[in-house]
Amino acid sequence: MQLKGSKIIMECLLEQKVDTIFGYPGGQIMPLYDALYDYQDRIKHILTSHEQGAAHAADGYARSTGKVGVCFATSGPGATNTVTGIATAYMDSSPMVVITGQVPINLIGKDSFQEVDIVGVTLPITKHSFFCRTVEELAPNIRNAFKIAASGRPGPVLIDVPKNLMVELGEYEASLPMEVERCCPPADLDLIRSIAEEINAAEKPVIYAGGGVIIADASEELTQIAHASDIPVITTLMSMGSFDRRDPLSLGMVGMHGQKEANMAVHHSDLIIAVGARFSDRVTGDTTRFARGAKIVHIDIDPAEFGKNMRYDYCIRCDVKSALQSLLPLIEKTERKEWNERIDTWKKEKTANSQKLDPDSIFDTINEILGDDVIIATDVGQHQMWTAQKWPFRKPRTFISSGGLGTMGFGLGAAIGAQIGNPGKRVVHISGDGSFRMNLNELATVSSQNLPIISVIIKNHTLGMVRQWQKLFFSQRYSATDLPDVIEYDKLASAFGLDGCLVRERDELIRALEEAKKSGRGTVIACEIFIDENVAPIVPPGEAINNQLLTETLV
């Protein structure tokens, strides 16, 4: 069947069961948008305010649903505006396909209007990039892009399509989606048995769960092993929700801003079982002093991670779900009462002020009014760490945040993608007044799409995390961090057709959340807190993770 290239692209997207595209049209991708007109009843297009917002939305959609997110952008600045979103997805192993328009092939290399070598630009931040030279390449490149994005360790793939290929005729023959290569049972069963013996013999083991647990849908297997062998579980930022935070064995986040009990458990352990984690510098601190008395088992699908950041005693290159399923029958039922009681001595009881707005009362109140069954999307900074520390994440794919790249401005676009992908779920966007300013234009998308997203902004009049570092490590020389108080959040929200308010006390926050819950409208709630509220604990840079500065040290 002969079709224009633009329609071949759309038919291939239907093959991949794509139901949503996030994007922004422009000159070189216009033929593809013209073809999209005929597919409106089958594929929803979400017009964002900016291409960066579209990329973040596709990412948030992917992380919250487990599907491949799809983003369209035109050439030149349209394509380069997606770069931060592509890099964010790459660092956090989020599956995404970005299709960009390009100037016609006969104009390439001539500094044509809006010409950029986007394949070259994105080469280090994609799993693969395709430049289509003929209309015959369109279908195989798109099919391969989806397979690559979702296979193994997921990530973004870019397809750059010159405009002339979108209007040329080519042969199209329908095809089933290519099989995703992810599940790979461990090849060395003797190694599995040896690792099981180490787990059974350990007196002070810790499971260190990374984002790979969520990607592999292995939360159930992780929970079964932890319960069978009474092993405490620590999680990375990317793994929040992989293990129920209300479970007695959950120690919460590990690392620079991790819970004291998580960091101390690692420091005193005799066995670390790392599952789908990459030993980020934000987790390990000084690697020479990280878990020095422990053997390390590293399970990951990406062999490049073995030994890259941290030594190991055993490694399994495997889909983590398959590895845990292979281990589970060999794990002995064990009670580690003494080890878990010792960990309990490192836990600190939380005290809350009933009316004052501070990080504890804000998150307690949101949880009280909205419950546990919500998706949280954050930007980056103090509010992100407070969210990870204080929110009781109970299920996978409910925490959407930029971990590896630390992208301020990520949260609102990601919340939009998560809400579009999960229309029956409550989505809450947590931001700081610094991050929020970066992409607040996406409030227009929230409004135009009638999305009931609640944006809660921790308003402390400063770039909070930068100021905290300046306070602790730069002799309180506050350079370019304090923010002028120029935004009236109620008026800002109203200008976008949304509800909004500024609250200073807990009762005001309760009323605002209850109203937002009842109205079903997009809402912006700014919560004013003290400028010097700090994220605690914090491990100073270059220190071992057991050497934390605690709350009382930061006053």
326-343 tens-digit pLDDT: 999 999 999 999 999 999
pLDDT attached to residue 389: 97
Tokens of 71: 């983003």
Task: State yes or no: pLDDT of 551 exceeds 90.
Answer: no
Neighbours of 14 (CB within 10 A): 13
pTM: 0.97
Q: What is the pLDDT of residue 21?
A: 98
Query: Catalytic: which of 256, 325, 465, 468?
Result: 465
Rounded to 10°, the helix 506-519/359-370 angle is 30
> Torsions phi, psi of 311, nearest 5?
-65, 165
DSSP 389: H
Alpha carbons within 13 A on the beta-carbon side of 392: 13
111 CB contacts (<8 Å, ≥6 apart)?
Answer: none
- Return mean pLDDT, the chain: 96
Catalytic annotation, pick one of 1, 17, 113, 197: 113
Per-residue pLDDT averaged across 474-484, rounded?
95
Helices then strands, counting H and E runs in the chain, come out as 23, 20
Interacting residues of 188 by C-beta distance below 8 A, sequence separation 6+: 316
Residues 147, 163, 295, 459: which is the catalytic one? 163
Which ranges of 422-539 would DSSP assign to H, the alpha helix? 433-438, 443-448, 464-473, 489-495, 506-519
Distance CA 148, CA 155 (A): 8
Model confidence at 125: pLDDT above 60: yes
Is 411 within 8 Å of 377 (Cβ atoms)?
Answer: yes
Residues β-bridged to residue 544 = 285
The region, left, alpha or beta by phi > 0 then psi within -120 to 50, assigned to residue 285 is left
Transcribe 5-35 into DSSP letters.
HHHHHHHHHHHTT--EEEE---GGGHHHHHH
Q: Is residue 152 helix, strand or coil?
A: coil
Annotation says 491 is catalytic: no
Q: Is 449 a catalytic residue?
A: no
Average pLDDT for residues 223-242, to the nearest whole number?
98
**Residue 17, pLDDT above cutoff 90:** yes
In angstroms, what CA-CA distances link 345 with 338, 390, 454, 538?
11, 19, 37, 19
In sequence order, which residues have a C-beta less than 8 Å from that of residue 469 and are 6 or more positions away?
none
Q: Is 247 helix (H, G, I), strand (E, B) or coil?
A: coil
CB 24 within 8 A of CB 78: yes
- Statement: residue 350 has pLDDT above 80: no
pLDDT band at 181, cuts 50/70/90?
confident
Domains of the chain, start order: 2-171 (3.40.50.970), 189-344 (3.40.50.1220), 359-554 (3.40.50.970)
Would you call 1 a catalytic residue per the annotation?
no
Which segments of 384-451 are extended strands (E)? Answer: 399-400, 426-432
Is 390 part of the annotated catalytic residue set?
no
The one catalytic residue in 15, 30, 44, 114 is: 114
More confident residue, 349 or 119: 119
pLDDT given for residue 354 in this prediction: 64
Name which of 150-154, 185-189, 262-266, 468-472 the model is least confident about. 185-189
The arithmetic mean of pLDDT across residues 421-447, rounded, is 97
- pLDDT, tens digit (0-9, with 9 covering 90-100), for 48-91: 999 999 999 999 999 999 999 999 999 999 999 999 999 999 99
Greater pLDDT, 351 or 549 = 549
- Is 465 annotated in the active site? yes
Contact of 390 with 358, CB cutoff 8 Å = no
Mean pLDDT of the 214-231 span: 97
Confidence of residue 555 (pLDDT cuts 50, 70, 90): low
Whose structure tokens read 């095809």? 175
Confidence of residue 348 (pLDDT cuts 50, 70, 90): confident
* pLDDT above 90 coverage of the chain, percent: 94
Predicted local confidence at residue 485, as pLDDT: 85
SS3 447: helix
pLDDT of residue 179: 87
Q: Which of 51, 115, 261, 528 is catalytic?
A: 51
Q: Which of 104-113, 129-138, 235-244, 341-350 has the lowest mean pLDDT?
A: 341-350
pLDDT of residue 353: 61
Q: Which two tokens stand for residue 291?
A: 């878990």
Statement: residue 552 has pLDDT above 60: no
pLDDT score at 351: 66
DSSP strand pairing (20-23 vs 2-4): unpaired
- The pLDDT confidence band at residue 313, using thresholds 50, 70 and 90, is very high
